[in-house]
Amino acid sequence: MNNFDGQTWVAFSDLSGLKAMYIKDVDQAAAALDKFYNTTYSLQENDELINSIVVSDCAVFWIDRQDCLDCLATLLRRLQEFHQQLLPDYLLRTTIAYGHFKYEQRLEIPRIRKNMIVGRAYLDAYANNDRVDHGAIVIVTLPENISFKELEVAYGRKDYMRRSSKGKGYYEYFWAVKTPRKIKDFLNKREEANAATFAKLKELYTKNQ
C-alpha cells in the first residue's frame, strides 16, 4: 500500500451491534468479524484505486488519488457492494467525507505494526459515524466551495441521494432503493422501525419501575 498525502474521499464503515454480540455470544461476534474481514478483503483484491484498512469492527476506505472529485461514484459503488454482501446477517453504518487525508506506513519491528492515519476527512467521517442510521451511507463533508447541486451534476445520480435529517449538510446515498418513490417509502418504514424500537424501550423501562 502506497503512502498518501492529499485531498481525497474517505469513508468510515462500522459494523453495527458487535458489542451486543460480544455480550450475548462471543462465537457469534467472532463469526460477524470473520465475515466483515473476508468481505473487505474480497472487495479489495483487484482494486487499484481504493485502499482500505480494517481495525476491529471498523474499515477505512480512501481513493488513492489526489483531488479526485470525479471518483465519488466509484467509492459509492464499493460501499454499496460492502453493505449488500454483509446482508442479511449484518448491517453497517458508513460516513464519507472529502478533505485532507494522510496515510503513512511506519517502521515495524516484531510484534508491532504501525500505520499512521490523520487528516480532516478521516476525522469528519469517524466523528460523525454514530450520528447516522444503521445501514445508511451518508456524505458528511463536501469539497470546499462545491455545492451539492454541483456534485449532483458531476455524479449524475441525484435521484439516489437526499438531504439527511441527521445533520446540516449531510446527504444520504440510498444504496438499497433507486427511485424517488421507493426512497420515500423506505424512509417512512425506517422511521416506523426506529419508533417501534423506542416504544419497546419505553415499555421495558416502565415495566421495571
CA 103 to chain centroid, in Å, comes to 18
Range list of H helices, 45-132: 72-86, 120-127
How far is it, in rounded angstroms, from Cα 138 to Cα 1? Answer: 26
pTM above 0.75, yes or no: yes
208, with CB counted inside 10 A (0-12, 13-18, 19+), is exposed
Q: What is the largest CA-CA distance in the chain?
A: 57
Confidence class for position 154, pLDDT limits 50, 70, 90: low
pLDDT of residue 114: 66
| Three-state SS at 190 | helix
Confidence class for position 143, pLDDT limits 50, 70, 90: confident
The residue ranges of DSSP E strands in the chain, in sequence order, are 4-15, 50-55, 58-63, 92-105, 115-118, 137-141, 161-163, 171-173
Mean pLDDT of 7-24: 92
pLDDT of residue 84: 95
* 131, 99 Cβ separation under 8 angstroms: no
Q: Which of 101-105, 141-145, 188-192 has the lowest mean pLDDT?
A: 141-145
